Amino acid sequence: MFHVPEWHRLLTGPMASTSMHGNNGAFLLPPKISGRDLWVMASNGLGWEHVSVHAGNARNKVFVPCWEEMCYVKGVFWDPEDVVMQLHPAQSEYVNNHPATLHLWRPNDGRTIPVPPGVLVGLKGASDVDLAP
C-alpha cells in the first residue's frame, strides 16, 4: 500500500502541502544510508503511485540517489511486499526536468507489475553455493 511519511512532509515553501493533499506532496527524508538528505515528490494520480527522488548535502550539492537510498525510499512509501519499478521509456518519450532525479512507479488501478522468476536475477544464498565446474 502506498503511504507517505507525514512527519517528513514539507509544510512551508514553494512545494508545501498538508495531509489534506493525501499522498501528494514534497517530503524531506533525513540522512539514513549515505549521509545525504533525500528530497522526494510523491503523487498518486492518473492510475499511478509515483515518487521522484534526488539526494543532496549541506552544501546544496545534488546527487543521483544510489541503490540503497532508492531501497530506503521504497520502504518508506510502500509496504515490504509491494512491487514497484523504475522505467526506461522509449527515447522518444524521455522527459528530464531534473538530471539527478530517479523515479519509482506502481500502478494503482488494479494492474499488477509482472515480475520475472528470481532465478533470472540470481540464486538465493548464492554465496553458499559452489559454482565451480
CA 62 to chain centre: 16
Q: Is 88 exposed, middle or buried (0-12, 13-18, 19+ CB in 10 A)?
A: exposed
Q: Give me the pLDDT at residue 133, please.
A: 53
Average pLDDT, integer, range 22-27: 97
Q: Give me the pLDDT at residue 58, please.
A: 74
First CA to last CA distance, the chain: 44
pTM, to two decimals: 0.87
3-class secondary structure, 8: helix
Could you read off the pLDDT of 60-104 as tens digits, one per residue?
889 999 999 999 999 999 999 999 999 999 999 999 999 899 999
Q: Which three cell numbers stand for residue 49?
A: 503511485
d(CA 42, CA 76): 11
CB of 105 within 8 A of CB of 50? Answer: yes
Q: Give me the pLDDT at residue 128, please.
A: 52
Confidence grade of residue 9 (pLDDT, cut at 50, 70, 90): very high
How many helices (H) and strands (E) are present in the chain, helices listed first? 1, 5
Q: What is the DSSP string of 48-86?
A: EEEEEEEEE-TT--EEPPPHHHHHHHHHHHS-TT---B-
Instruction: Say whether pLDDT at 131 is over 60.
Output: no
Average pLDDT, integer, range 111-125: 87
Average pLDDT, rounded, for the chain: 91
Domain segments of the chain as ranges: 6-128
Q: Give me the pLDDT at residue 123, please.
A: 82
| Grid cell 521522484 in the structure block, residue | 52
Q: Give me the pLDDT at residue 124, please.
A: 76
**By percentage, how much of the chain surpasses pLDDT 90?**
77
